[in-house]
Amino acid sequence: MQDLERITRRLIEHRVEFIITGGWAALIHGSSLTTQDVDIVCPMSVDNLTKLLNAVAELHPVHRLTPDKLPFTREQIQQGGFKNLYLSTDWGQLDCLGEIKGLGNYSQCLAVSVALQPETPELRILSLDALITAKRSMGRPRDLHTVLELEAIREKRK
């Protein structure tokens, strides 16, 4: 949980618009899933990606899916065209998604997200129902397994 807290604190300090999704959202909702990266959905605008770069610049962000692990730079942001951004940083992996399958883009995800804590309304995660929809839409075996667990959690909460 420490990586999530450190990274999200930085994102909030730099006013990055984002919502926690993926494995960390499942864990926060009560799943026993393990995850190695922090997944967020965020606007892929020049403004928001510039704030993101400012937040992680000291953590030496590189594109983890490129063979040469190229650095994430302002020039790339200015060129635009990002749909997703998969970064490795000194604090771990950060996957920034422009949209979530089954839910849509950041604005659509914002409508089905919840504040993680009342005192930090800018720290949001996908709601349990939205996360179930997203995981089901992904259709991968590990996601479908997580759906079963999240549905059981939802039943217990009723």
DSSP states of 130-149 as a string?
A: HHHHHHHHH--HHHHHHHHH
- Write down the pLDDT at residue 2: 58
Domain count of the chain?
Answer: 1
- Domain membership of residue 73 (yes or no) is yes
Range of 40's domain? 2-151
- In tens digits, what is the pLDDT along the chain, a chain of 158 residues? 457 889 999 999 999 999 999 999 999 999 988 888 899 999 999 999 999 999 999 999 999 998 888 999 999 999 988 999 999 999 999 999 999 999 999 999 999 999 988 888 889 999 999 999 999 999 999 999 999 999 999 999 98
- Domain membership of residue 158 (yes or no) is no
Lateral strand order in the sheet of 92-97: 62-63, 84-89, 92-97, 37-41, 19-21, 120-126, 113-117
